[in-house]
């Protein structure tokens, strides 16, 4: 493997995550050895909303857990939020403060007596004074759309499923991360809850300018929200494309046991009939508008 330029991402201020030839092996030199990541090279810019998709066991979770050193770097280059993860003396607190990680079913990590204490747990761990941590918690709870005064002294275990997940999300947002990593944030929620969480993530991404990396199995939510989709298979990156371009590759996607989003199926079918829509036609409304314009009619 050739030695790659390790300074590259630091020069470019716009890069949030940069990986070059990243490899990871579970249980090396044992009968249980598993090559989980193979030569991963990718780069994610600040403020981007990137979705990572792939079949179970494709290495996406392993990759995502690299981002805040829950899985320790083995070989290759990895820079996250300006920190070199290959560095032996890596400042873990600084890294984990910059990269907020929302796990699957994050509500199962709630533990404190009150919602306020739970959300303030993160900032307190990073040495923020109690009063300031409470302020951060208040902001975070308001960001996720909860009524602070009403909820702050409730027990997190008395909340509904959707509220719990919001509180857990607030617990990560309160650390003021630059990068937000979400592992299937909508798993187990009803359609309404899914939409709410996604629009929340989207607005966090757009308004607070936080880089979002989202692992998901739901291609529809990937299609409608992500700026870019990275497809993992067998520990490697096979595609790295904007969603519209990616899901035009119907055969390849299906052969990887992934679904084609409904709207992509629709636009792809139209294209086969010779009706080509502009590349920014993702949602129902956008497609509807574009079709009306093609017809030459007015946008009703």
Partner 1 sequence: MFRDVTFGQYYPKNSFVHNMDARIKLVLCLLFMVGIFFVQSYVGFALVTVFLMVVILASKVPLKSILKSVKGIVVLLILTAMLNIFFTKSGNVLVSWWIFTITDEGLIYASKMLLRLVYLVIGSSVLTLTTTPVDLTHAIERLLAPLKVIKFPVHDLALIMSLTLSFIPSLIDETDRIIRAQKARGADFDTGNLFQRAKAFVPILIPLLVGGFRRAEELANAMNSRCYEGATNRTQMRVMKLSWRDLVASLVCIIVFGGIIVVYAMKATWQPILPWMYF
Residues of this chain that bind partner 1 (CB under 8 A): 65, 68, 70, 93, 96-97, 99-101, 103, 106, 108-112, 121-122, 125-126, 157, 171-172, 175
Residue nearer to partner 1 on the CB measure, 99 or 144: 99
Sheet hosting strand 99-102, strand order edge to edge: 99-102, 179-183, 211-215, 49-54, 228-233, 236-241
Residue nearer to partner 1 on the CB measure, 110 or 281: 110
Give whole-number Cα distances, 274 to 86, 265, 269, in Å.
50, 14, 9
Tokens 């490697």 -> residue: 236
Residue nearer to partner 1 on the CB measure, 54 or 171: 171
Alpha-carbon gap, residue 69 to 95, rounded angstroms: 8
In angstroms, give the least distance from the CB of 12 to partner 1: 26
Residue nearer to partner 1 on the CB measure, 3 or 89: 89
In angstroms, give the least distance from the CB of 230 to partner 1: 21
Residue nearer to partner 1 on the CB measure, 126 or 266: 126
In angstroms, give the least distance from the CB of 70 to partner 1: 5
In angstroms, give the least distance from the CB of 249 to partner 1: 34
Alpha-carbon gap, residue 120 to 118, rounded angstroms: 5
User: What is the phi/psi pair of residue 228, to 5°?
Assistant: -150, 145
In angstroms, give the least distance from the CB of 215 to partner 1: 14
CB of 202 closer than 8 Å to CB of 234: no
């Amino acid at each position: 493997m050739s030695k790659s330029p390790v300074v590259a991402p630091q020069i470019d201020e716009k890069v949030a995550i940069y990986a070059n030839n990243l490899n990871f092996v579970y249980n090396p030199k044992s009968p249980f050895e598993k090559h989980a990541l193979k030569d991963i090279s990718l780069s994610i810019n600040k403020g981007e909303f990137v979705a990572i998709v792939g079949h179970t066991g494709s290495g996406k979770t392993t990759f995502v857990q690299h981002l805040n050193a829950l899985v320790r770097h083995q070989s290759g280059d990895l820079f996250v939020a300006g920190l070199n993860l290959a560095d032996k003396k890596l400042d873990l607190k600084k890294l984990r403060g910059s990269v907020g990680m929302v796990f699957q079913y994050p509500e199962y990590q709630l533990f404190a007596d009150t919602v306020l204490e739970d959300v303030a747990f993160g900032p307190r761990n990073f040495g923020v004074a109690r009063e300031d941590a409470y302020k951060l918690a208040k902001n975070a709870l308001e960001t996720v759309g909860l009524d602070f005064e009403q909820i702050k002294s409730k027990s997190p275990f008395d909340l509904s499923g959707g509220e719990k997940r919001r509180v857990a999300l607030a617990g990560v947002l309160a650390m003021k991360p630059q990068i937000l990593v979400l592992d299937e944030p909508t798993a187990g929620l009803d359609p309404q809850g899914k939409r709410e969480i996604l629009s929340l993530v989207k607005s966090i991404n757009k308004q607070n300018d936080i880089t979002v990396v989202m692992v998901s199995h739901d291609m529809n939510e990937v299609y409608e929200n992500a700026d870019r989709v990275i497809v993992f298979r067998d520990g490697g990156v096979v595609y790295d494309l904007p969603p519209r371009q990616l899901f035009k590759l119907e055969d390849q996607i299906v052969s990887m046991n992934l679904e084609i989003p409904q709207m992509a199926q629709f636009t792809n079918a139209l294209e086969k009939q010779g009706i080509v829509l502009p590349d920014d036609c993702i949602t129902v409304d956008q497609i509807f508008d574009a079709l009306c314009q093609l017809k030459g009619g007015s946008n009703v």
